[in-house]
Each structure stands twice: as structure tokens, then as C-alpha cells.
Amino acid sequence: KSVFATMPVVVSWTCAAQAQVPRHRHPTAPGSSARRFSGSRPLTKCSSSKTSSSNFGLLDWAGSTFIPQGPIVSSTKFAWNTMWKTLMSELAPQDQSGAYTRPPAAYTSVVGVTPSFPASSSYTLYIGNACPWCHRVAIAAALRGVPAESLRIVKLVDDAERASRGGWIVESGRDPLFGAKDLREIYDSAAGGQYFGRCTAPLLVSDAQKVVVANDSAEIVRSIDALPGDDVTLRPAALAAEVDKWVERITSEVNNGVYRAGFATSQTAHDAAALPLYRLLDELDQHLETRRFLCGGSVTEADVVLLPTICRFDDVYSVLFKCSGRRIADLPNLSGWLADMMRLSVIADTYDAASARSSYFGQLFPLNPSGIIPAGGRSTKELVAQWLSRSDPAKRERLAVGVSALHTRD
């Protein structure tokens, strides 16, 4: 039967026991009348600090035959675990094994590929800085130098208590395209009525048609590569196959891997996500010993999708998502690659470390019910300086002598 039905009984036992022994006098002290229960030793209660509180003091009384500790602990753990799994299934859908299963994106069109969304048109992009999926999109837009008349960026803030559904509200108060206050209202407006589903970011919307183009970060990155901007491409035709291979593996085992490890509700599910994650991080570290970037001497889409997870790994994922089996600081070539990415000034400006920590530790309630954010976190500027200090730029540059860090269009 449900443990919730038995909890009042446990509490009433405790209250009854506390009522039998005055808190101001030790029950076995001289001048006291120690009460005995049939077949049990005298109940005793250790004195505690006047400034501390243990509510019902369940474990203070545990150990007697009247209040055995085992059932108290096991019942409480079962009740807490049941409630936690219920909360986790709402935050992150689970399969029968306790593994997180990311829902598929509802919109997957690509600008310049889908005929109704030409590259010559204008679009609005909704992103939240704390989100790594939004971060990859922001990096792509920064590297491509897409002008504001082609891509207007609206910033979102993670605040589930103020959002009507999901967690994103418009930072400026109202968005310029629909006048919406939060992402749910934007989805509703773009859908032409009430939208049913998860209201996720990033979100790309056509200004002309006021409909959603895509809410899948991979498709949005491809869309950004098609828009007007600097003479730069993140997926050069000659490297397309290699780029796609890395993007698929990194998305599955690293980007999704940290979330599957952190959102797992069973040890088996956590191990199934964490161990492949560690193996690929090791492989990437070895691969980058002889390459400046993942696909050669220049940045590609593969580097773009990897960077947001690596930025957050030691600060957030190793702690909150229990991915402590590796640290980026201990992987010299991956650390060197991170420094190379941050030497591109437009990339450093896309990351807000304080916002990321606040969102993860403050908003993911089932993983951190206290909402306590670890003290001593470094600012983005301090983190970048630390990352740069771990790398020898001359050594990294020798891996791609005479090669530009960005690919020009064919």
C-alpha cells in the first residue's frame, strides 16, 4: 500500500513518545520518573542545542522497540523517492527504465531549404542565454555575422514562476513581433490559436508569415548558415560528411548525454548515459591533440554544437548532473580547444556564466530543491581568463599554420 497512508501513523507514534518524556528533564536523571514500555528499555533523549530544530525528532527516538529506526528511514526514503520521480517525470519525460527521453521537436523546417522560408526573408529568433541549445544558435549567428534586418534576436529569461507555461518569459517585457509576455503566448500566436505542447527555446519565427519555422536547435543552426551575413560557412561542402558525423555523435552522447545522466531516475539509466559521455570526451581529447578544431584548421558546425556543453561542464554538469567522472580542466587538448574557441571574440560574448548557474541550480527544482547556488562561481570574464591560461596558443596554432579560423563560402 502507499507509504503516504502510513506516514501519519509514524508521526503519531513520535508525538506520543515525546508526550511521555518532558523535554526539560532527562528521563533517567536523578529525581525523574523514567517511564517504561512493556518489553523495552527506558526511553532516553539526548539534549540538543537550543538553537537547533529537528521538528518531530524522529531519529532522536529511533532505536527503541516502540519506534524502530528501520521502518522510519525506509518509509521516508520511499515517500521522498516516489515524490521525486513524479516531479522528474514532469520535468523530463522518462521511459520504463528511468531514462530521460527528449521529446521530438514539433517544427523542423530549414530556411533556404523549405520553399516557404527563403533566405531573403526576415526572421525573429527567441533564445535564452542560460540554455545550451539556445547558446549553440547564438554562437552560429555571431560567427556568421547575420545582420539584424535578416535575423532579429529576442532574449528570454528563465523564470517558471512568472511564465504561464514552461519557463521562458520575454526579457524586455513584450516581444516585438506578437507583443507576447512569454514563450507560451508566442507559440499560441504563431500557431494561430492555442498551442498544445512543450514551449521550448530556441524558436525561429518567420516575420512575414508569423508562423514557426523551427524549434529544433540543429535546424535553426542550419537556417542561420543560409541567411545573409559575413562570407563564412559553418558547413563547407567538402567537409559536410565529417561535420555531420561529429554533430550526430556530439548531440547524442555529449549534449544530450549530460541531460540523460542528470535526469535519470535509476542507476542503470544514469550509467548508460554517463559512461558513453566520458568515453567520447576522452576520444575528443585525443582527437584534438593533432587538430586545432574538430574537422581541421577552421571552426565548423561540429565545434559550435560542442562548445555550450563544454563551457558548462565543470561548473554545472559535473555537480548538478552527477557527471563528475571527468573534468574538462583535466583534459589538456579539449581545454586547449576551448581556449581556441574563446579567442574568437564574438564567441566569448555569447556566454553568461552567472546566468547559467542561476538557471540550473535555481530553476531545476527536482534536482536542487533548496535552490542554493554554489558560492564562489567565477564570472564569464574570469572563466575565459582561466581557460586561456591553460593553453599554449603557439602550440595550438602550429596545428593549423596558415589556415583561417573560419571557413569562407565556396
Catalytic center residues: 131, 259
Residue 121: count of CB within 10 angstroms of its CB: 16
**What does the alpha-carbon distance between residue 239 and residue 78 come to, in Å, rounded to a whole number?**
52
One DSSP character per residue, 364-377 reads: -TTT-TT-PPPTTP
**Among the listed residues 137, 184, 176, 136, the one whose alpha carbon sits nearest the alpha carbon of residue 154:** 176
Residue 206 main-chain phi, psi, to 5 deg:
-75, 125
Surface-to-core class of residue 356, CB atoms within 10 Å of its CB (0-12 exposed, 13-18 middle, 19+ buried): buried
Residue 234 main-chain phi, psi, to 5 deg:
-100, -5
CB 353 within 8 A of CB 304: no
SS3 245: helix
CB 182 within 8 A of CB 164: yes
Residue 214 main-chain phi, psi, to 5 deg:
-160, 145
- H or E element that contains 235: none
